[in-house]
Amino acid sequence: MNGLKEEVAEGKYILSFPHLTSTQDYAKKIISTCARDIVGVRADYQSSGRGRLKSQWDAVPNSSLLVSYIFDLSGFSKRHVKLISLVTAAAAITAISESTNLTPQYKWPNDILISNRKVCGVLIETPAFKQSLSQAIIGVGVNLTQLEFPPDIESIATSIAMEGGQAPTPQALAKTLYHKLLWWADILLWHGLDPITEMLREHDGYTGEHYRVTTDSGERPGTAVGITSEGELILRMEDGSILATQNATSQKSVHRYNIPADS
Amino acid sequence: MAELGVDIDEISELVRLVEDSNLDELIVEDAGVKVTIRGFGYIRRSSSARLIDEPPQEMIDINPPRHPISVTGADVAEEVLTIASPMIGVFYRAPGTDAAPFIEVGDHVEVGQTIGLMEAMKVFSEIPSDYSGTVVEIIAHNGQLVHSGDPLVLLRPDSV
C-alpha cells in the first residue's frame, strides 16, 4: 500500500494521501488485505466521494479533515451497530471542542454544527465481507480552514476558521478523533448508551429542526423535540402526534442520500 | 414444478394460510411428496434471526434469516429461499443515486455478494447473500422501510 503512515497509537497508523477518489473506498480495500495496523485512511483532497457524499464538502484541497476509520466491531451486538452513529457524534464533538476553542452542537443522528451551521458530517458503512460483520468504516469530514462555501450551501455550512476557532491540522485532528472514537465506544460497551445520549442532549442542536421520517406509509414531515434513551429521534408530526424513529433525514442535510428511482 | 406432482396454486394457498394465520410451521405430505412451509414466527425463534431490539448478548451475525419454502419429492428437490431483512431500516437497491442496482431479477449471485443496503441512524449496512443462486424476485422497493424478518429478495439456490 502506498501512502504515508501517520502513527495515532502504538503500532496503529492512518494512511495519508495527497489525493484519493474516496477514502471510504480505499478503507474498504484495506479491510480486504487484513492489514491490522492500519486503522484509517486520510486524504488532503478527495476528488469524488461515493454517491452519498457530495463533492462540495471537500472542494478545496487540504482545507478539511477527510478521514475514514476502520473500526473494529469486536464485542458489538447488532443493537450496538446503529449506535456507532451516536458514538461518532460524541467523539467528533469532544475532539472538535478540545482541539479548538469552540463549542459544537449535535444534530441527530450524527451531524455536528457550530452557530447552527454544519461543520462536520459523517458517513458510516458496514461492508458485508463474506457472511459476518467485523468492521465498520466511519467516514468523517470536518471543515477546518475554508473561508467561504459555494452559494448553494453557504447558508448551512461553516468551518472552524469561519467561526473564529484555531483550526488544528487535519493530521492532528485525525489522531484526536481516533482516540475519542475508542473512548466513546468503550463508554457504550461498558456503561450503555445513557452517558452518550446525556452528552448529546447537552449539545442539543436538533430541537426545532425539520426532518422527513420514512414510515410504512411513505415519507412524512415532522419537527424534532428530543431523542429517546435508545438514541431515536422524537418528532412531533403535523397532526400533532409524537413519533420516535431511527429513520429520519434532515430537510436541509448537505450529505443526504438521494434515493435512486426503482428500475 | 409440474414434475413434482404438486400444484403451484395449492402451494401458494398454503403459503397464504401460514402467513394469514401466523402459523410457525405447516407440513403437508401426500403421495410421496412433502411440503414444508415455515412462517416468520419459526424464524424469529431460530438462532440465526434474532430481533434487532433483543438484548446484546450475542456477537454480530448479519446473515439474513431464511424464509424457506421447500418442496421435496422422491426424485426431485427444489427450494426457493427468501433473503429477509436482519433489522428494521430503509432498504436501498443501489449504493448511490447514479449507481446501478446491486442485483436484478435473473442475476446469479454468489455467497457473500451484496444484494442491497439497509440504513438506520445513517449507518449503511450491506446485506450479503448467504448462498449462491439466481434472483427470482426483488420484493422490497428502493427507499422502503422494512422490518426485521421482512422479505427482501427471492432466490433459487444453485443446489439444495
pLDDT tens for A180-224 read 999 999 999 999 999 999 999 999 999 999 999 988 888 899 999
More confidently predicted of A24 and B16 = A24
Q: Which residues contact A122 (CB under 8 A, 6 or more apart)?
A: A85, A88, A89, A92, A110, A111, A138, A139, A140, A141, B122
Q: Are strands A233-237 and A135-143 parallel, antiparallel or unpaired?
A: unpaired
In 3D space, the residue among B36, B114, B44 whose CA is nearest the CA of residue B68 turns out to be B36
Instruction: Tell me how close the Cα of A197 comes to any Cα of chain B, in angstroms.
Output: 14
At residue B28, φ and ψ (nearest 5 deg) are -125, 130
In 3D space, the residue among A214, A117, A37, A89 whose CA is nearest the CA of residue B118 turns out to be A214
What tens digit of pLDDT does each residue of B91-115 get? 999 988 778 999 999 999 998 899 9
- Tell me if A38 sits within 8 A of A14, measured CB to CB: yes
Residues of chain A with CATH 3.30.930.10: 4-202
Q: Please give the average per-residue pLDDT across A45-52, as a whole number.
A: 64
pLDDT at A254: 41
Q: Which residues of A touch B97 (CB under 8 A)?
A: 51, 257-260
Mean pLDDT of the residues in chain A = 88
Mean pLDDT of the residues in chain B = 69
Among the listed ranges A107-116, A250-259, B135-144, which one has the minimum average pLDDT value?
Answer: A250-259
pLDDT band, residue B52 (cuts 50/70/90): very low
In 3D space, the residue among A116, A139, A132, A134 whose CA is nearest the CA of residue A46 turns out to be A139
The answer to whether residue B9 scores a pLDDT higher than 70 is no
Q: Which residues of B touch A81 (CB under 8 A)?
A: 60, 123, 125
pLDDT band, residue A99 (cuts 50/70/90): very high
Q: What percent of chain A has pLDDT over 70?
A: 89
Out of A40-54, A174-188, A242-256, B124-138, give the one with best mean pLDDT: A174-188
Among the listed ranges A75-79, A88-92, A211-215, which one has the minimum average pLDDT value?
Answer: A75-79
Whose cell is 426424485? That residue is: B75
Q: Which residues of B touch A125 (CB under 8 A)?
A: 123-126
Q: Please give the average per-residue pLDDT across B152-158, as a whole number.
A: 92
CA dist A44 and A65 (Å) reads 7
Domain A210-250 coded CATH 3.40.50.300: no
pLDDT at A134: 82
Nearest CA in chain B to A75: B59
Q: Which residues of A touch B54 (CB under 8 A)?
A: 78-79
Residues of chain A with CATH 2.30.30.100: 210-250
According to CATH, what is the number of the domain A4-202?
3.30.930.10
Please judge whether B124 and A124 are an interchain contact, meaning their C-beta atoms are less than 8 angstroms apart: yes
Whose cell is 427470482? That residue is: B136
For an interface test with A, the pick among B58, B105, B122 (most A C-beta atoms closer than 10 Å) comes out as B122
In 3D space, the residue among A233, A252, A219 whose CA is nearest the CA of residue B145 turns out to be A219
DSSP calls for B124-142: EEEEE-SS-EEEEEE-SPT
CA dist B154 and B146 (Å) reads 15
Q: Please give the average per-residue pLDDT across A241-250, as a whole number.
A: 91
